[in-house]
Amino acid sequence: MIKIMVDSSSDCRKEDNFYDLFIPLTVDIDGECYRAGIDLSSDEFYERLVQTTGFPRTSQPSPEMFSEIFEKARDDGDEIIYFALSSALSGTYQCACMVREMVGYEGIHIIDTLTATHMINLLAQYAKKLIAQGLSATEIVQKCEAAKGKVKVLAGLDTLEYLYRGGRLNRATATVGELAGIKPVITVTEEGKVESIGKGLGVVRSMQFIMNKLDSYDIDTEFPMYSLYSMGEANCIKLEGKLAAAGYNVEKRVQLGSTIGSHIGPGVFAVVFAVK
């Protein structure tokens, strides 16, 4: 049997049935550690995030956690396709590859997605469809490797505070930006890194930047389009209105989890999609 595996950075929900195996990253908030997606929901994470003045730290799964899953697959004769968090953002992919070599089982297929959150969700959903079509694990991996560069996100930030806390901005720049009402737009690059690609003075102009950028792409409707929020859905709902008015079909609204959310904070408004 072919089984789809994700980690908590994917923000996949069990009820969506996009995966069979799940491994959590660990989130440290003020010295308290939680298994993301197990001990701490996304809503609970954001409640803690806005109460602390520190910066949450995320740790990759332990080799022992990977070993337990991989050894069971080997013993059961199952194959695993694991969609790992971008190697540019975490050591999770490298850890999984190391454990696979230790276990010595060729039925473990590990994809460096070079992305995160619900872009991984899109890939896992795509893989599930390919399994239903009867493709082999090797064929599915080949198709997903080709598809991973197509999944995109355009995300507007409502605050600069968390970029400052994470060391991406100095205090002076963050303060001036907040006073000016600057709302950056970020994406995940083809190299798997989170980068700013634009900005707007205020939420409305930032949303317009997102819409203009989205219009420049040739959208692949084989993949669903999601709207994405972190804490507080108001900005996301406004973006959905603009998307609908422009003729885009948003399948559902999904929540950003702790792995990326810790860096960009509440009030996020984003669109997740794929290009041809």
pLDDT at 172: 59
Residue pointed to by tokens 């963050």? 174
Integer Cα distance of 196 and 254 in angstroms: 21
So what's the pLDDT on residue 181? 78
Q: Each residue of 190-217: pLDDT tens digit?
A: 899 888 888 888 889 999 999 999 999 9
The per-residue pLDDT of the chain, averaged, comes to 91
pLDDT above 90: residue 228: yes
Residue 180's pLDDT is what? 67
The count of other CB atoms within 10 Å of the CB of residue 248 is: 18
Q: Is 45 helix (H, G, I), strand (E, B) or coil?
A: helix
**pLDDT tens digit sequence for 111-133:** 999 999 999 999 999 999 999 99
* Amino acid identity, position 91: G
**What is the pTM for the complete model shown?**
0.91
Percent of the chain with pLDDT over 90: 66
Q: What is the pLDDT of residue 176?
A: 60
49-97 pLDDT per residue, tens: 888 888 888 899 999 999 999 999 999 999 999 999 999 999 999 999 9
Q: Find the mean pLDDT for residues 221-250.
A: 95
State how far Cα 174 lies from the chain centre: 24
Amino acid at 194: V
Q: Assign 264 a pLDDT band (cuts: 50, 70, 90).
A: confident
Q: What is the pLDDT of residues 147-193, one digit of tens each?
A: 999 999 999 998 877 776 666 666 656 666 666 677 889 899 989 98
Is the model more confident about 36 or about 181?
36
What is the set of domains in the chain, with CATH numbers?
A: 2-148 (3.40.50.10170), 151-274 (3.30.1180.10)
Residue 161 or 27, more confident: 27
Read off the amino acid at residue 43. D
Q: What is the pLDDT at residue 163?
A: 72
Q: Is 241 exposed, middle or buried (0-12, 13-18, 19+ CB in 10 A)?
A: exposed
